[in-house]
Amino acid sequence: MRQQRIPDKASLPARTGVRWAAGVRLLALSIAALLMTALAPLPAQANVIDKVKGWMQLPGQVDELRDQYDTTKQQLEDASKQIDEAMRKSQETVEQYRQAEQQLRLDNERLAKQNEQLALQNEHLTQAVNGLQQAEQTRTERSKRTWTLIWTAVILVFLYFVSSRLFRLLLRSRHL
């Protein structure tokens, strides 16, 4: 908007004179236009009236153009605000994605370290299980050997008693 300047007292009479002169010129032009339309022949009169009407409609057209300009300017400002808001939101979204990406990287690094630790722990547990399986196999084999030894001893004792009885029987039967 234009700011109105308050005229100083020295320039006031000069301006009033200019305005009065412009007003007189406008009045003279209006009277001349009326006289020309009144004195002109009928076919030309329509052309002059159209021109005068055109000149009279100019202030209305200027106001209409000004309104259109203001409307367009407001629409441009609204569009600019929407673009700014969209840019702000997209920047926020990009920042959120960056933070999420950073968090995912940290999580991946943490999980990779945890996987390494679990793999090492798994290897130790596998070794422990293998050791326990070998110990169980050794114990089973020792137990089997022990039972075999016990049964062999029992069978040998039984055979000793049976063979000694048979031997005595055989000796008695020959002595008799």
Instruction: Give the pLDDT band of residue 22 (cuts 50, 70, 90).
Output: confident
In the block, which residue shows the tokens 């057209």? 61
Q: pLDDT of 156-173, one tens digit each?
A: 999 999 999 998 888 888
What band does 12 get if pLDDT is binned at 50, 70 and 90? Answer: very low
d(CA 33, CA 49): 9
3 state SS of 152: helix
Q: Look at the chain and count its residues.
A: 176
Range from 16-30, 73-87, 110-124, 162-176 carrying the lowest mean pLDDT: 16-30
Per-domain residue ranges of the chain? 13-175
pTM of the complete model = 0.39
Can you tell me the distance from the alpha carbon of 73 to that of 81, in angstroms, rounded to the nearest whole number?
Answer: 12
